[in-house]
Amino acid sequence: MSFRRSLRRWRYRHSESALGLPVRAVRRSDDIVGPVTAITPPAPTRTASDRTGARVGLRLSVTAFVVVSLFSVLLVRLWSLQLVQGAQLNSVARAYTTATVEVPAPRGQILTRDGVCLACDEAFNEIVLAQGEEKQHPEVIARLAHLLGLSVKSIDTQLASERYANAAPVPLPVSPTQVTAQDVLYIKQYPQTFPGVTVTVGYQRTYPQHALASQVLGYLGAIPNSTPLEQQQLKALEAKGYSIDDIIGESGLEAQYESALRGKPGVDTFEVDASGNSIGAPTETTPVAGDQVVLNMDAALERTLTDDLNRQVGKLGSPWGAAVVLNVNNGAVLAMTSAPGYDNNVWGSVVGVNGVPGISTAEYNRLNPPGCASGNPNVSCPLLDYAVSGLQPPGSTFKLATATAAMNVGLINANSYYDDTGSFTIGNPPTTFHDSDNEALGEVNVTSALSESSDVFFYNLGAEFWVDRARYGQTPIQKTASAYGLGAASGIDLPGTSVGQLESPALLIQQHHEAPAAFPNPTYFEGYNIELAFGQGETLVTPLQLAEAYSTFANGGTRYAPELAAAIVSPHGQLVKRIAPKVMSRVDLPPSTRQPMLDGFRGAVQNARGTAYAAFSGFDFSKWDVAGKTGTATTCAGDVSCQPTSWFVAFMGPQGGKPQYAVAVEIDQGGFGAAASAPVARQVLSYLAQHPLPPVSLPSGS
């Protein structure tokens, strides 16, 4: 009822008759019979009934005033709510009647230098159910379960998940392969049978090359939040726009370039009723796909390296192996593999918690068997990237650092000879070190000592450095090794890589404090320095670090950070960022140092007395100049059934030109470096000699 109508009724009810007042007698003119006579009313007389009527009238007047006042206040309040506070209250009302849902963006691709996709997002049909529909039509759950081969319990669990507490439509817990084209067609043909059910487009991470570069690529997973540290990390991610239900890169390149690959999520805004059920179609903001990461890696070279390494590891029955190929002039990682590998697609083979694609428990246990967490060297751990984490003593490949240090400080020169009798004795009581198989090489200098891998020559250098440490300092070999990148962070664009360590007085003190039973005496003796000089003892390196060190020598002394990625490119093909070479350190390599050593590394593969000569028999040295070094490291002393770790490192360039490629191969318990690892390197270098690498495929003009 309007206020005016109320007022009119109030006026009517309080008219004279309504109040009980006398009504004036008025006669119409046609009722008058005789002449009109003025009637003088009698003087009013106040009776008891008159006084009662007056009091009633007063009360009614007061009541009327109160009613009018209340209506006035109501009008003012309505005016304030509608005009003054209307915008604010409308915003509050909308906040309680809408819900926003993040729409994940397609993840960016990871491509090789020649455009082969190693990690892609593949669109698939996703079945979703509007929240609240199962309450109005409970039969839809059973129908969906029957159609898709699910249990009713699994769907109920999905609907009850806190992950979908924001009124968003709930995707059913099925993998992309479970939803067939016939399922989609059936749902669309009979919408009345499946009320609230919609077919949408989702994205599944796929790895078309399967096991190729599996550990390098890494995998995706749900954001963990079970521990306090993980919850703290979640908060940091939420500040960057992530939510608890997002999928994120957990290892490898997927983790390293997460911010570029992720893209920009879209937003769907739903109108919801008082019960939280969605109403009508959502308002959509389209997501933006993530950027592409273009690698320096060549797909065919990676395949060749992987196949050759796997074949050799399988042939030798070794627990594991790893290999790396670098461009010596800029640090670009051209190939990197670890054996055994695995098919990255296993990470999306099952639907995990809250519908997040994951891996089955059985498959995960196969890839991460007992012993991997404790670092058992006899256990094969496919999830480990041994190229960046396969820490072992480097054996004779470490002689690069010892020879460089000795030449640079003047301890020896190209004409310094030492008689290799097959053994070297120090101390009282005496301790004797032997050449491999007690072989005596006779008079050797640095060149022949590198070619023929004379241990005795380097035993002597280690001893002389320590005996004359007042002149050379306590750690000249370690400083040179660190400049080469051994026992130092490589700088590669991968998370979780190993730094390794170098035998040193400081390391021994640290080990004594951490494990006094294993290292009871923290005093560093001459014997430790001898072990250091030929790559044994507590020195541990990775294949990547050795490839980096020999690349540094090959290019004349500049250590570049190994780079897997060459550039970031937008989904539309525009260059976002080119990743430039990064200098990590420099090694002083004057000609008086470098040339005698280079001749020694050449002799290792090209001289008949070289340790790797047999492995490179028939190689066309007239076109390609190859130099290298074998290494055989004892890793389980006293166990006759345990074979040494096999190493081989080489670099190559066209005859008359600069070196271009470096390759490092490690095979755990593979035996001698010349017999196990050198053949793998030879196959890879032969491939490179016959198949020049194409330039990195980037947008024109970039």
Domain of residue 434, CATH code: 3.40.710.10
pLDDT of residue 29: 37
- How does residue 293 score in pLDDT terms, banded at 50, 70 and 90? very high
Beta bridge partners of 121: 205
DSSP state, 625?
E
pLDDT of residue 37: 38
Residue 33, pLDDT > 80, answer no
pLDDT of residue 247: 85
364 within a domain of the structure (yes/no): no
Helices (H), 646-697: 673-676, 678-690
Distance from C-alpha of 563 to C-alpha of 537, rounded to nearest angstrom: 30
Lowest-confidence region among 34-38, 208-212, 272-276: 34-38
Beta bridge partners of 648: 630, 665
Q: Where does a domain end: 293, 310, 335?
A: 293
Are residues 413 and 278 part of one domain?
no
Task: State the average pLDDT over residues 84-88.
Answer: 61
Are residues 84 and 129 part of one domain?
no
| Cα dihedral 71→76→78→84 (10° resolution) | 180
- How does residue 81 score in pLDDT terms, banded at 50, 70 and 90? low
Task: Give the domain extent around 78.
Answer: 1-15+54-95
Residue 305, pLDDT > 70, answer yes
371 within a domain of the structure (yes/no): no
91 within a domain of the structure (yes/no): yes
pLDDT of residue 156: 84
Lowest-confidence region among 261-275, 428-442, 444-458, 478-492: 261-275
Are residues 79 and 127 part of one domain?
no
Looking at the structure of the chain, the number of domains it has is: 3
Spatial contact of 494 and 216, defined as CB atoms under 8 Å apart: yes
> In this predicted model, what pLDDT tens digit does every residue of 39-71 receive, in sequence order?
344 444 445 455 555 565 667 776 777 666 777
302 within a domain of the structure (yes/no): no
Q: Which residues in 479-508 are b (16+ Cβ under 10 Å) and which e? A: ebbbbbbbbbebbbbbbebbebbbbbbebb
Are residues 277 and 140 part of one domain?
yes
pLDDT of residue 484: 98
The number of residues making up the chain comes to 702
The pTM assigned to this predicted structure is 0.81
Mean pLDDT score of the chain, rounded to an integer?
A: 85
Distance from C-alpha of 485 to C-alpha of 585, rounded to nearest angstrom: 8
664 within a domain of the structure (yes/no): no
Are residues 188 and 141 part of one domain?
yes
Q: Where does a domain end: 265, 293, 321?
A: 293
644 within a domain of the structure (yes/no): no
Task: Retrieve residue 203's tokens.
Answer: 């994205």
- Residue 195: CATH number of its domain: 3.90.1310.10
Residue 25, pLDDT > 70, answer no
Closest listed residue to residue 526, CA positions, set 595, 600, 463, 461: 463
Are residues 600 and 511 part of one domain?
yes
pLDDT of residue 482: 98
pLDDT of residue 5: 39
Residue 16, pLDDT > 50, answer no
Helical (H) or strand (E) element with 481? helix 476-484
Residue 313, pLDDT > 70, answer yes
Residue 274, pLDDT > 60, answer no
- How does residue 448 score in pLDDT terms, banded at 50, 70 and 90? very high
Distance from C-alpha of 387 to C-alpha of 305, rounded to nearest angstrom: 12
Q: Where does a domain end: 277, 293, 309?
A: 293
- How does residue 32 score in pLDDT terms, banded at 50, 70 and 90? very low
Are residues 271 and 159 part of one domain?
yes
- How does residue 515 score in pLDDT terms, banded at 50, 70 and 90? very high
Distance from C-alpha of 161 to C-alpha of 152, rounded to nearest angstrom: 14
Helical (H) or strand (E) element with 283? strand 278-285
DSSP state, 326?
E
331 within a domain of the structure (yes/no): no
242 within a domain of the structure (yes/no): yes
Distance from C-alpha of 29 to C-alpha of 11, rounded to nearest angstrom: 29
Lowest-confidence region among 47-61, 385-399, 535-549, 552-566: 47-61
- How does residue 615 score in pLDDT terms, banded at 50, 70 and 90? very high
pLDDT of residue 136: 80
Distance from C-alpha of 246 to C-alpha of 259, rounded to nearest angstrom: 13
Spatial contact of 598 and 605, defined as CB atoms under 8 Å apart: no
Distance from C-alpha of 213 to C-alpha of 113, rounded to nearest angstrom: 14
Judged by DSSP in three states, 461 sits in: helix
- How does residue 214 score in pLDDT terms, banded at 50, 70 and 90? very high
Are residues 483 and 587 part of one domain?
yes
- How does residue 595 score in pLDDT terms, banded at 50, 70 and 90? very high
Closest listed residue to residue 205, CA positions, set 80, 290, 129: 290
Judged by DSSP in three states, 645 sits in: strand
Neighbouring residues of 650: CB distance < 8 A, sequence distance ≥ 6 = 550, 605, 612, 626, 627, 628, 629, 662, 663, 678, 681, 685
Are residues 573 and 489 part of one domain?
yes
Are residues 172 and 63 part of one domain?
no
Spatial contact of 395 and 648, defined as CB atoms under 8 Å apart: no
Lowest-confidence region among 3-17, 152-166, 511-525: 3-17
Task: Retrieve residue 71's tokens.
Answer: 């209506």
Distance from C-alpha of 191 to C-alpha of 195, rounded to nearest angstrom: 6
**The most confident of 71-75, 201-205, 398-402, by mean pLDDT:** 398-402
Q: What angle do CA 280, 284, 289 make, to 5 degrees?
A: 150
Report the 10 Å Cβ neighbour count for 63: 12
Are residues 149 and 279 part of one domain?
yes
Spatial contact of 277 and 131, defined as CB atoms under 8 Å apart: yes
Residue 637, pLDDT > 80, answer no
> In this predicted model, what pLDDT tens digit does every residue of 163-203 receive, in sequence order?
666 666 788 887 777 788 888 888 888 888 888 888 887 78
Distance from C-alpha of 198 to C-alpha of 623, rounded to nearest angstrom: 64
Are residues 123 and 188 part of one domain?
yes
More confident residue, 124 or 215: 215
Spatial contact of 196 and 270, defined as CB atoms under 8 Å apart: no
Task: Retrieve residue 277's tokens.
Answer: 């059920």
- How does residue 643 score in pLDDT terms, banded at 50, 70 and 90? confident
More confident residue, 428 or 594: 594
